[in-house]
Amino acid sequence: MLIEREHAVVFQTYRRIPVVVDHAIGTRIIDADGKSYLDLLGGFAVNALGHSHPKVIAAIEQQIRSYMHVSNAFYQEPQVRLAEQLVWATGYPRVFFCNSGAEATEGAMKMARRFGTANARYDIVGFSGGFHGRTYGPLSIMDKALYKDGMGPFLPNTLVLPFNDIDALEARVDENTCAVMLEFLQGEGGIVEATEEFIGALWRLKEQYGFLVIADEVQSGLGRTGDFFAFERFGVRPDIVTIAKAIGGGLPLGAILATDEVAVLFERGMHGTTYGGNPVACAAGSVVLAEVTSGLMDNVREVGAYLRRCLDAVHTTHPQTIREVRGRGCMQGLVVHGDSSPFVSKLLEMGIIANATAGNVIRFLPSFIITRQDVDTLCVALDSMFQLSELEKIQSTNG
């Protein structure tokens, strides 16, 4: 049995879904017994084009037949082509490729410290509920105890402030701050969006003190919310943007985007990576960017709005179980009264893969090719599940 074999030899750091995957295609995962699951987790926001997209597979196969890895000692067409696509799609003039969101965060923090060194400004600020990776830089500006207990001390001159708390922001951000990093729409934190007032206050402080703003768009970026970046709806322009997950088409790839003024802070040899910008991953990423910028975000907006209406309807029907609906596009969640994990387990039994996060949130991160039929399948299941849960509670109360 594969599960028992995994338990015997692999570090037990993951709370895995008890499904042995045989293959996956489109919005579906099929297990070793032939059961089909509607995948609304999308490899944790990686599979923007769904599973086994034919154009991604073709690009990977073509690149592998040319070469798989030569290192960043060489000029490579797939890497430059993807960088050009990102520059065109985002307006940021410079790109640094890495392998993951955590690596992108580390690089962005190094760049921020390099920026602050000129004026002896070293403080980097993060926010409660934020998630930026599991290496020491990201952990230093995160507050989730599970990821940090017994692993300190963390980086000096870092602090975590309450998210969306303007008073705390104004009290702690000052002339010693070199950068503030945030997710404009938090994923791991429970699908929590920054308020317009909070972002307005942050930008007023930025103008006053001149620090950098780093936008973590690893989960929310590349069209997931219906905008290319989640920060776009606020009418602001961060100095640095980190991306990963969807950009690799299912392969490990991350990137840092920056203005020219910030990008020049890294001189030759100051930062690097052996595998970052791997040509196979970049070839897959080029397909993702081409598809996302050629109309796929229209589907995210349209079906995302339909998903929101359906979730709102379920909320209206089951207010005693559901507290609120959050998010937009292909990044949404239901906040329930109590622990969300039992509901996620029940959905799995019903053939739907979702995720429990922040204790009481059922998170949905579907691929951008999700259909109205997929949404209908989810919402019928949710209604049935909550109805049964509420009936069981009534029966339990009545003895």
Phi/psi at 160 (5° precision): -120, 120
User: What pLDDT is attached to residue 115?
Assistant: 97
- 147 secondary structure, DSSP code: G
pTM of the predicted structure, to 2 decimals: 0.97
Task: Report the interhelical angle of 77-90 vs 279-291 (nearest 10°).
Answer: 30
* Strand runs labelled E in the chain: 21-25, 28-31, 36-39, 94-98, 123-127, 158-161, 177-182, 185-186, 192-193, 212-216, 240-243, 254-258, 322-328, 331-336, 352-353, 355-357, 361-364
Indicate the average pLDDT of the chain.
97
Task: Report the interhelical angle of 54-66 vs 279-291 (nearest 10°).
Answer: 150
Both tokens of 60, joined, read 């990977």
Q: Which of 92, 40, 60 is nearest to 258 (CA)?
A: 92
Angle at 250 between CA 37 and CA 349, to 5 degrees: 15
User: What pLDDT is attached to residue 399?
Assistant: 63
Q: What is the pLDDT of residues 354-381, one digit of tens each?
A: 999 999 999 999 999 999 999 999 999 9
User: What pLDDT is attached to residue 204?
Assistant: 98
User: What pLDDT is attached to residue 250?
Assistant: 97
Judge whether 190 and 357 are in contact, CB under 8 Å.
yes
User: What pLDDT is attached to residue 349?
Assistant: 98
Judge whether 169 and 201 are in contact, CB under 8 Å.
yes
Q: Please report which helix (H) or strand (E) contains residue 76, including its range.
A: none
Where the chain has pLDDT below 70, the residues are 399
Q: What is the pLDDT of residues 83-120, one digit of tens each?
A: 999 999 999 999 999 999 999 999 999 999 999 998 99
Chain centroid offset of residue 300 CA: 15
